[in-house]
Amino acid sequence: MLDFIRSNKRFLQFVLLLFIVPSFVIVGAWDMVSPNAGASVVAVVDGREIDRTTWENAHRRSVEQMSAQFGGQIPAELLNNAEARRSTLDQIITRALIEQAAHRSKVGVSDESLKTIIANIPEFQDKGSFSLARAQAFLRERGLTTETFEQGLRSDLSAEIMPRLIAESSIGSRQLARHLSRAETEVRRVRVQAFRPDAFLAKAEASDAEVTQEYQSNAQRYQSPESLDIELLVLGGERPAADIEAFSNLVYEQSDSLAPAAKRFGLSPLTVRGVGREGVAPGAIQDADARAAMRNPALLAQLFKPDVLVDRRNTESVEIRAGLFASARVVRHLPASSLPLEAVSADIRKRLQQMKALSAAQEAAKRWASDSSAVARQPILSLARADARSALQSLGVSEQSPQARAVLMAVFSERLRLGAPAQIDLGADGVLSIVLDSVRLASDDSPGARDRVGPAFGLIQELEADFSTRVWLRELEQRYKVERFSKRIEAAES
């Protein structure tokens, strides 16, 4: 048991995030509070219904976690798209399948093991020892009983055991590991010429007629962005449930102003300017709670609803995170509008010139590759698969470049044939024209290959464990009837 705890320290650190925070009701827990609370069913797993409220809670939390992971720099619509919504539903279904398999296989955690795990949760300890009073107080602050928490923890641990057992049953191939380790010693000798658009920019011209044609053909591209000026009211801190309910009622029932709610709780509305559908510019808001509110997809979506945008009603109270709620109202709406040609002609001309320069660079790259004498005059570069940094430096590509990974994959691709020219797209940076001269691999018993056998075998084990788990989940889905109603979440707003 102690070995289990030691190998799962990181897992235990996230237990509280999964089950203690108020938004812990991701799978199944909502049904204990309000079964089938009028929400439409989005999936059925072996007769067990998953309602829309369960999915909405899970998806909201997923979007918030992804947004926080990227520092709020990713626009909300990129995180809250149709693919992400379907992914959340798939995750809930997977969890339900694993729970069902664990229940039917009678896989679970003993009372003694559960007691030991709980005793090792850091938030439940006082001076290095488990404190029942501290654990109870911690749970009570979050509106949870000991029984509810233990039930959720037991369920989570049981669901975690089954995939681990499947993954550990996979057997890695040592022969394949030896082949992979040898492949890592590959050194390719290539002749490369870079063609940058900047070298062709001086001869790239865009006429007035071309500028006008581009403006007329893509008018929607040349518009001022839609934006809002809003008043934002944030309710934070340790608040009893009665306060949260009163805040929600005030902003909803007296929806023509945030003043009643502000007065009731001694809050000051914050004016936020330039709010778009994806939020505000980074650094535009200094207050951390307000900044979190302006990154919340649900609140942003409400701002652009007709009753809020046109009728100037308050948004509903939105839970930004555990213990933090917000409501807002639109003060000013600036719709997207077409910019005059005079204001954008310089930018259009510059973009057209860059496009022409890029096209000229691509054509030059093809001509170079087809000229055998020009290729032969180019120095040979040695690129080692195991040293990606040096390979990129030799090719003149920055490690931070968005194309860095694609360049490495192209250079070491099996599709690159000896003597056959190829072009590697660098996006706006142009193109690399490359010709493979020779390939060298170390022998199986060379020190370089032998040193890599261990890591290669570990990688194979990870891949086979992942494959085994995926196959097992597919079999579970066939064994336990699963119905998805994806159309019910395609247009959902999280």
Share of the chain above pLDDT 90, in %: 35
How are strands ordered across the β-sheet holding 227-235? 270-275, 227-235, 324-334, 318-321
Among candidate residues 197, 325, 333, 341, the one with its CA nearest the CA of residue 276: 333
DSSP designation for 314 = P
Helix (DSSP H) and strand (DSSP E) numbers for the chain: 24, 15
pLDDT at 445: 59
User: Is the pLDDT reported for residue 5 higher than 60?
Assistant: no
The predicted-structure confidence for 193-219, as pLDDT tens digits, reads as follows: 999 999 999 999 999 999 999 999 998
Among candidate residues 159, 156, 164, 162, the one with its CA nearest the CA of residue 16: 156
The predicted-structure confidence for 214-242, as pLDDT tens digits, reads as follows: 999 998 889 888 999 999 999 998 889 89
Bigger pLDDT: 397 vs 39: 397
Which residue type occupies 231? E
**Residue 74 near residue 66 (C-beta atoms within 8 A):** yes
Q: Which residues have C-beta within 8 Å of that of residue 472, sequence separation ≥ 6?
A: 163, 166
DSSP designation for 225 = P
pLDDT at 77: 62
Q: What is the rounded CA–CA span in Å between residue 111 and residue 463?
A: 34
Beta strands in 347-430 (DSSP E): 380-384, 421-425
The DSSP code sequence of 317-353 is PEEEETTEEEEEEEEEEE--EEPPHHHHHHHHHHHHH
Which whole number is the average pLDDT over 347-352?
94
Pull the structure tokens for residue 125. 């300890």
Pull the structure tokens for residue 471. 């196959």
DSSP designation for 257 = -
Other CB atoms within 10 A of residue 93 CB: 23
Bigger pLDDT: 178 vs 192: 192
**Residue 443 near residue 449 (C-beta atoms within 8 A):** yes
pLDDT at 62: 83
Which whole number is the average pLDDT over 473-489?
83
Which whole number is the average pLDDT over 17-28?
40
pLDDT, the chain, mean? 81
Q: What is the rounded CA–CA span in Å between residue 399 and residue 414?
A: 22
User: Is the pLDDT reported for residue 3 higher than 70?
Assistant: no
Most confident range, picked from 92-106, 166-180, 181-195, 374-388: 374-388
The predicted-structure confidence for 270-295, as pLDDT tens digits, reads as follows: 999 999 988 888 888 889 899 999 99
pLDDT at 463: 63
User: Is the pLDDT reported for residue 82 higher than 70?
Assistant: yes
**Residue 120 near residue 1 (C-beta atoms within 8 A):** no
User: Is the pLDDT reported for residue 325 higher than 90?
Assistant: yes
Q: What is the rounded CA–CA span in Å between residue 109 and residue 161?
A: 9
Which whole number is the average pLDDT over 99-124?
80
pLDDT at 19: 42
Which residue type occupies 421? P
Q: What is the rounded CA–CA span in Å between residue 142 and residue 306?
A: 35
User: Is the pLDDT reported for residue 74 higher than 80?
Assistant: no
Entry field: residues in the chain: 494
User: Is the pLDDT reported for residue 30 higher than 50?
Assistant: no
Which whole number is the average pLDDT over 120-131?
84
The predicted-structure confidence for 37-51, as pLDDT tens digits, reads as follows: 444 888 898 888 888
Distance of CA 224 to the CA centre of its chain: 29
Which whole number is the average pLDDT over 425-440?
90
Comparing 68-82, 210-224, 379-393, the range with the smallest average pLDDT is 68-82
Name the CA dihedral angle for 136, 137, 139, 141, rounded to a multiple of 10 degrees: 160
